Amino acid sequence: MGIALNKLKIAVLSAFLVAGAQAGAATTALGLLGTGDTEFSNSFWSTGTFTDYYTFTLGATSGGVGGSVLTTDLSLFTRDLDVTQLALSGGTLGSTLVDTDASDGFSFNGLGAGAYTMALTVTVGNKATFFSSYGAYQGTIHAQASTAPVASPAPEPADFAMALMGLAGVGFMVRRRRSAR
């Protein structure tokens, strides 16, 4: 009976380790980003380096993306979780943009409409000498307003005033020539 109990313990421990090792291999679709915050997150039970992928779409009225990533440790022993890199590719980008210090927020400007992939690389260390600990990150991302000028669909009141002044000037000149004859 003691051997069967030990095998059961090993099987349960192995299942937790496999589940924890797969925790960092997430690909999540965030959809069309708006100006409000869209949240993303993941949690880790094991040590290692993981890259999570988040896909999203920017509409024509967006000029880029911005956001932040916050790491937390919800255990008695610290897990030492660090966001080491945030990379953006796809859409109108010719090459991948990389931010190696996303701890104070991130911002990618000058992006056109299209589908993008954000790769978030996290390194999970283990400062604890025993017991498993739990670490997580939570982030937000939002579309930034376009900085490109937008053409007005209707003439401005000043345009009408200038046109009327020009017509009045031409009418005055025509009337003056006729009275001079």
Total length of the chain: 181
Question: What confidence score (pLDDT) does residue 5 get?
Answer: 45
Q: How far, in Å, CA of 167 to CA of 3, rounded? A: 102
Pairing of strands 97-99, 81-90: antiparallel
Question: What confidence score (pLDDT) does residue 150 get?
Answer: 57
Q: Which burial class, exposed, middle or buried, applies to 177 when counting CB atoms under 10 A from its CB (0-12, 13-18, 19+)?
A: exposed
Whether this model's pTM surpasses 0.85: no
pLDDT in tens, the chain (181 residues): 455 544 444 444 444 434 444 444 568 899 898 888 899 888 877 778 889 999 999 988 788 899 988 887 655 555 577 888 899 999 989 899 998 887 778 888 888 889 999 998 888 876 554 444 567 788 889 898 776 555 667 777 888 888 888 889 888 888 888 887 7
Centroid of chain to Cα 99: 12
What is each CA distance from 72 to 82, 133, 148, in whole angstroms? 10, 11, 38
- The CATH fold of domain 2-145: Jelly Rolls (2.60.120)
Q: Which burial class, exposed, middle or buried, applies to 62 when counting CB atoms under 10 A from its CB (0-12, 13-18, 19+)?
A: buried
Question: What confidence score (pLDDT) does residue 90 get?
Answer: 92
Sorted by where each begins, the domain ranges of the chain are 2-145
